[in-house]
A and B are shown apart, each in its own frame.
Chain A
Amino acid sequence: ETGVTQSPTHLIKTRGQQVTLRCSSQSGHNTVSWYQQALGQGPQFIFQYYREEENGRGNFPPRFSGLQFPNYSSELNVNALELDDSALYLCASSSKTGVDYGYTFGSGTRLTVV
């Protein structure tokens, strides 16, 4: 079975720009969650998508938005980038919405905002 694939692996953007990060779920998984991991910190929950609908959101402003497609792949969009958005963005897929069923994490996209 394929794992979770994220693209790109690294990205440099300028403050104020917009960025789109992509995630391909593991085969058979219909739920995708996104996390932000700042340097030296643990990951923080951004939101979860289940069957193309947002299914929970963490404490992130509306300029963080997402999409899930019929094939369960997902995008994370961030508008009006700020320096503090520099982080590793992790995508995790699962076969059910509950964390107790187990997540498979991708290797992440490292975003640097300058």
Chain B
Amino acid sequence: AQSVTQLDSQVPVFEEAPVELRCNYSSSVSVYLFWYVQYPNQGLQLLLKYLSGSTLVKGINGFEAEFNKSQTSFHLRKPSVHISDTAEYFCAVSETGSARQLTFGSGTQLTVLP
């Protein structure tokens, strides 16, 4: 079984500052990794995913993440945040074998301050 730990439950940051949201996972088999964003009263939207290949993954809205197998991490970064980036961010993992279900972390609330 796999698990995901999002190390920060809340991250406040000023507008135009860089941000990193941390995610560590645990699994005995190879995995796919994902970052989703959830705006208030909405469903989840995929930001980016790592399936294979290059460990640096670029997503929508200027976000990127780096897969580090030795550290079992998949941290999300953005060089300059906007007020509109305020949302809940979820890291998720799935085993490559079955790949039928996502296991999510408990989320990080990113609040961008003016």
Contact = CB atoms under 8 A, between A and B. Distances in A.
Interface of A: 4, 33, 35, 40-45, 48, 55-56, 58, 90, 92, 97-100, 102-103, 105-108
B94 A40 contact: no
B28 to A, nearest CB: 18
B54 interface: no
Contact of B99 (A40, A92, A98): A98
A100 B32 contact: yes
Contacts of B100: 33, 48, 55-56, 97-99
Contact of B41 (A99, A102, A103, A107): A107
Nearest to B4: A42
Contacts of B46: 102-103
Contacts of B105: 42
Contacts of B107: 40-42
A27 B34 CA distance: 23
A114 B46 CA distance: 33
Category for how many chain B residues contact A: 20 to 34
A108 B45 CA distance: 13
A45 B103 contact: yes
Shortest 4 CB-CB contacts between residues of A and residues of B: A42-B104, A105-B43, A45-B101, A56-B100
Given A55-B100, A100-B94, A105 B106 contact: no
B87 to A, nearest CB: 14
B42 A107 contact: yes
B44 A90 contact: yes
A90 B43 contact: yes
Nearest to B51: A100
Nearest to A31: B100
